Amino acid sequence: MNDSPRSTARSRPWSLLGLIASALVIAFLAACNLTYDSYFSPPQIPGATFTGVKSCEECHEEIVEEFEGATHAKLLNESHHAINLGCEACHGPASTHNESGGEVGTIHNPKSDPDTCYQCHLDVKGSFNLAHAHPIGDKVSCNDCHDPHSGAAIKGGGVAAMKEAETCIQCHQAQSGPYVFEHEATRDGCTVCHSPHGSPSDKLLKTSNQMLCLQCHFQQQTAPDVILIGGRNHASWVSRGTCWTAGCHESVHGSHVNSSLRY
């Protein structure tokens, strides 16, 4: 019979497992909700309260109008918690700022505080802790490369790779050319070879010297000790990681004298 003591005893472990599973699901949902609620944690300004975007628009009409089409605005609109914060999601509550007539120091300035960006971009914060990284918070700020108020979040992004590269050229002018012989990789944008935030490799390279080059320049390997690149065996050089050192392709961004990118 289904209600026999033996049957009941057999069903108890399954009932217990069901309760445990239910508890885990509830705990998981609660954790998700906690993460969701804390995803946007606006900066705190003592004594200030949130006033909404309309109050910002009274003085910053042009910025608010541009922000409506910005990447960050679209992200904010996906959160029921952040949609009513708008500017204050990054700048903090604005009541004190408004009452003071826009006095400097009464509103948070994220430009000087990368931690504001890290609330959402935690992975990027990790990149800045790598062995080689841009000196964020010291010599550069997120806003030097990113525009939080208008268009694509990456300055020049969403248009063309070379347009995006103009952001890098603002500081790295020596690498911009023009050159008689250009490295074709530069036409695809700096981030083809470089990690813009940080990297374990020197010069913010995505990977080590020879492996980076082989992604595009590997022709074929006909034997263990024969790696053809441009019709020549490069095995001995590749094994030493000397693509742009030891007198090889040193002018890696471009050259005025040699099509093989030499000085």
Contacts of 22 (CB under 8 A, 6+ apart): none
Q: Which of 51, 27, 66 is nearest to 107 (CA)?
A: 51
Per-residue pLDDT tens digits for 27-80: 544 444 433 344 567 889 999 999 988 899 999 999 999 888 887 877 665 554
Mean of pLDDT values over 165-187: 86
What pLDDT score was predicted for residue 188? Answer: 80
Q: Kindly report the CA angle at 182 between 181 and 185, in degrees rounded to 5?
A: 150
Q: What is the DSSP string of 112-147?
A: G-HHHHHTT-HHHHHHTTSSEE--BTTTB-GGGTB-
User: Which candidate, 184, 194, 191, 205, places its Cα nearest to that of 259?
Assistant: 184
Distance CA 149, CA 203 (A): 30
pLDDT on residue 38: 43
In degrees, rounded to 5, the angle at the alpha carbon of residue 176 between the alpha carbons of residues 130 and 219 is 75
pLDDT at position 157: 62
> Would you state the pLDDT for residue 28?
47
| Residue 107 DSSP class | S
Q: What is the CA radius of gyration of the chain?
A: 27
Q: CA–CA separation, 41 vs 89, rounded Å?
A: 7
- Token pair in block for residue 18: 């069901």
Residue type, 124: V
Range name among 96-105, 115-124, 231-240 with the lowest pLDDT average: 231-240
Helix/strand/coil for 26? helix
Task: Please report the pLDDT score of residue 34 as a whole number.
Answer: 37
Asked if residue 42 has a cis previous peptide bond (ω within 30° of 0), the answer is no
Coil, strand or helix: which one is 103?
coil
